[in-house]
Chains A and B, each alone.
Chain A
């Protein structure tokens, strides 16, 4: 069953067309990396898919849902890592359960279990009672990823979730997304680290020149020709005994 279907999606920001004719489908169990140069419209594409833009054309299966239905279909982690108040990390993660909670606001045991699981998944046990807004940037990002995972939706969309994380946590976070894919949940994640994208994503979507330039398995997208065209770089890309290794080399 497809979790997200876009058909001829186009978005315009301040009378400037960002992209057009975007059509794609995300099925269960995928870890899709959305890559593209700065300003290609990765964030705008995700927000348009969610139906958050005031002016967009084309169809998105998520934008067609009501606000309440959408909250159970997709979790969204925006690029701006906003934590307005110094609330404890466990309360921050618990916000992911808001769409499911009864009106009384009490958190039932099964929701509590999902919150605990998300905290454990991101290795945040030691931070549970710490004020989320006073954590370091990388720790905040992990708390916000845990919040999105606690929402327990079939699809997770995250805008540059691993930017600013240390290498161990970058790898661990991509592994968290891969674990979700193994249970049939899918993730659409925008990222700039093409090495991690090559290693962890099951599929890459290259957004450039106002549309989708390539969509497929990493080895089909990270080709010399496409890299030169979209990013203007050369790269070294090999399948090694320890998995695919990708390293950008020089600016063309």
Chain B
């Protein structure tokens, strides 16, 4: 409970901080006042149309990815699992890349996110179909790897054959992930997917706890493994699909956040779900703030920063794990 309050306060503080940072030089209190009091001046416009969707998306995407990472690690009983493992982020990226290549983004502003969502949906059905209705976690990993590899090969193929260097440039930058220049429309587009995914994953909490004892023991504790797997895959896919559609590929959040928070929740998978949702929101807000503070004049990409923050954290954890080994 205390951890929940600390994380919640952290997310709230970072959210407020994120709202006060931007190229428009205004005092933090003025900015927040403009957001809440409103009015028609340029500052309320900036707050409502630029900074608010950016902060909301950072919290939403980060929270979703953190929770999906915790759920997937719990389901696979492997601390190295991450949301991209089931192949949905790869197939969503392929959808987005095809949209960029086809020039859909020029004709329809939501063409790219919708194409990414379509890619995610196709990806998740392929993974579920390949992994089979019944079966252990191994077939799921294999199916995920197969779909990821195929999607990344096709993405490379599109880049390879792209006759248009500008499209190729766009594609490369899009794949780095970013929250710059997103509108509230993007937020409303991603929200239902992330919310539904979050609800699906929240319903797996008890099952993930039972899986601590292995699949056999969990099944005799009254758990339907088939149902659990479907919930985990669909929940993760909804979150990753929604997040990738609006923010591009953002790595490391789903991998690192559950890893950092696990000791603080007594390693219990069910409690880790909530903690990782809050922790993921906090990490992505930090990353998105850093993007704007470190190099305000250059378009530093969010996915680059999460990897730059995440990799050293991960290295630290590796060394900690090594020390604990006998």
Chain A interface (Cβ within 8 Å of chain B)? 47, 50, 52, 54, 67-68, 70-72, 74-78, 80, 82-88, 91-92, 95-96, 98-99, 101, 105, 131, 144, 147, 151
Least Cβ–Cβ distance between B267 and chain A, in angstroms: 4
- When C-beta atoms are compared, the residue in chain B nearest to A78 turns out to be B216
Q: Is the CB of B267 within 8 A of A95?
A: no
By beta carbon, the residue of chain B nearest A77 is B217
Are A52 and B224 within 8 A (Cβ)? Answer: no
Contact A82 B214 (CB under 8 A): yes
Instruction: Check B220 against A131 for contact (C-beta < 8 Å).
Output: no
| Chain A residues with CB under 8 A of B220 | 50, 52, 70-71, 74-76
Residues of A within 8 A of B222 (CB): 67-68, 70-72, 98-99
What residues of chain B lie closer than 8 Å to A78, measured between beta carbons? 214, 216-217
- Taking A70-B222, A87-B212, A98-B210 as contacts, is the C-beta distance between A82 and B217 under 8 angstroms? yes
Q: Give B residues with C-beta under 8 Å from A.
A: 77, 134, 205-206, 209-214, 216-217, 219-224, 262, 266-270
Q: Are B266 and A87 in contact (CB under 8 A)?
A: yes
A70: nearest chain-B partner, CB-CB: B220
13 inter-chain pairs at a CB distance below 8 angstroms, sorted by A residue, are: A50-B220, A52-B219, A68-B222, A71-B220, A71-B221, A76-B216, A82-B214, A82-B217, A85-B268, A86-B267, A87-B266, A98-B209, A98-B222
Query: Smallest CB–CB gap between A47 and chain B, Å?
Result: 7
- Determine the distance from Cα of A74 to Cα of B209 in the docked complex, in whole angstroms: 19
Summed over the interface, the residue pairs from A and B with CB atoms below 8 Å come to a total of 77
CA distance A101 to B270 in the complex (A): 14
Most buried by A among B211, B212, B214, B220: B220
**Extra inter-chain contacts (14) besides given A80-B214, A99-B221, CB under 8 Å:** A50-B220, A67-B219, A67-B222, A70-B220, A71-B222, A82-B213, A84-B77, A92-B212, A98-B206, A98-B209, A98-B221, A105-B206, A105-B270, A151-B221
Contacts of A82 in B (CB 8 A): 77, 212-214, 217
Residues of B within 8 A of A71 (CB): 220-222
CB-nearest residue of chain A relative to B326?
Answer: A134
CB neighbours of A75 from chain B (8 A):
220
Partner of B213 from A47, A54, A99, A144 at Cβ < 8 Å: A144
Q: Which residue of B lies closest to A101 (CB)?
A: B206
In the bound complex, residues from chain A placing their C-beta under 8 Å from that of B206 are 98, 101, 105
- Chain A residue nearest in CB terms to B263: A86
CB pair B212 A83 closer than 8 Å: yes
B77: A residues at CB distance < 8 A: 82, 84-85
Contacts of A70 in B (CB 8 A): 220, 222
From A87, A144, A147, name the one whose CB has the most chain B CB atoms within 10 angstroms. A87
B98 to chain A, nearest CB (A): 39
Residues of A within 8 A of B268 (CB): 85, 87, 91
Assembled-state Cα–Cα distance A38/B62 (Å): 51
Contact between A84 and B212, CB atoms less than 8 A apart = yes
- Chain A nearest Cβ from B72, distance in angstroms: 13
**With A50-B220, A67-B222, A98-B222 in contact, do A85 and B213 touch (Cβ < 8 Å)?**
no
